[in-house]
């Protein structure tokens, strides 16, 4: 074997490697993406659930938005106040303490209390059942169907079907809103975790029709509204609503409710 040929080949390979190395180095500098150090620091403080409860496409999206000043430092519902304080320190702003929110199912129509028009045998999916006669077997068109779309959507195992209706475990709930999006009846809403009085019904039917369909449905009698001295409870479209910001938790509305539907 010619030693000269071997040396020439080695030199050629070395030169090509050097040229490619220089090219990649220049290209890396020219096309590199600037990384915001604050964004990385914020991302490290986020819990990493990627639940979307903040309104962004996962924790990366929220971190980028916070770093740009497009989202509040307490925008993560899973991390809570502790997470918000750490992110606030990174961003140099104070993180106001917000109320901890949890999901609440506005229906008490369990198997024993809610009447049914017929027996349903088919796909156990809330979105599918909506297309069967009367929007499902329950006599109340507003009630929980009980087939667990919300259960499947919850990434925290915080909601379960108990006695035919969805129940939320407030200790596990992170207010990610996935159950809200999954419920075709729009029965789930976020409420303050420390709220003492909530109306567990969504029916907008008139009183007599409600009583035919469910033994615990709100009949829109307005006794609760008349008892509230601070104007925290109102009856609209035959259903009572409680403003948690005004409510003083006196309990008078719950005491007077003839259907005992105010928790």
Asked if residue 13 belongs to a domain, the reply is: no
**What is the reported pLDDT for 165?**
94
107 and 172 part of one domain:
yes
Residues 240, 224: contact at Cβ < 8 Å? yes
CA distance 159 to 185: 16
Domain enclosing residue 252, as ranges: 196-263
pLDDT digits (tens, 9 = 90+) for 227-242: 888 999 999 999 999 9
Residue 2 confidence (pLDDT): 66
Report the CATH number that the domain containing residue 72 is assigned in CATH. 1.10.15.40
pLDDT of residue 186: 93
Q: Specify the pTM.
A: 0.72
Burial of 229 (0-12, 13-18, 19+ CB in 10 A): exposed
pLDDT of residue 51: 78
Q: In this structure, are 117 and 83 located in the same domain?
A: no
pLDDT given at position 40: 86
- Phi, psi values for residue 107, rounded to 5°: -160, 135
Note the pLDDT tens digit of each residue in 84-108.
Answer: 888 888 888 776 666 788 999 999 9
- Of 91, 117, 134, the domain-final residue: 91
Expressed in percent and rounded to 5, the helix, strand and coil fractions of the chain are 35, 10, 50
Domain boundary residue, one of 151, 179, 194 = 194
pLDDT under 50: residue ranges of the chain:
none
Domain total of the chain:
3
């Amino acid at each position: 074997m010619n030693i000269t040929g071997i040396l020439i080949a080695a030199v050629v390979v070395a030169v090509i490697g050097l040229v490619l190395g220089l090219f990649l180095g220049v290209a890396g500098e020219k096309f590199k993406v600037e990384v915001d150090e604050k964004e990385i620091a914020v991302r490290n403080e986020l819990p990493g659930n990627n639940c979307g409860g903040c309104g962004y496409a996962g924790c990366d999206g929220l971190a980028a938005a916070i770093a740009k000043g497009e989202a509040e430092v307490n925008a993560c519902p899973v991390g809570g106040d502790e997470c918000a304080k750490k992110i606030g320190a990174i961003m140099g702003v104070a993180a106001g303490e917000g109320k901890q929110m949890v999901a609440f199912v506005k229906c008490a129509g369990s198997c024993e209390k809610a009447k049914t028009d017929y027996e349903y045998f088919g796909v156990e999916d809330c979105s599918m059942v909506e297309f069967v006669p009367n929007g499902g077997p329950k006599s109340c068109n507003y009630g929980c169907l009980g087939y667990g779309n919300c259960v499947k959507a919850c990434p925290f195992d915080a909601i379960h079907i108990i006695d035919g209706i969805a129940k939320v475990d407030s200790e596990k709930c992170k207010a990610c809103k996935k159950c809200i999006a999954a419920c075709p009846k729009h029965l789930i809403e976020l409420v303050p975790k420390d709220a003492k009085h909530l109306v567990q019904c969504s029916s907008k039917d008139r009183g007599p029709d409600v009583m035919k369909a469910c033994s615990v449905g709100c009949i829109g009698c307005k006794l609760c509204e008349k008892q509230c001295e601070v104007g925290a409870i109102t009856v609209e479209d035959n259903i009572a609503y409680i403003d948690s910001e005004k409510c003083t938790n006196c309990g008078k509305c719950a005491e007077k409710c003839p259907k005992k539907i105010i928790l």
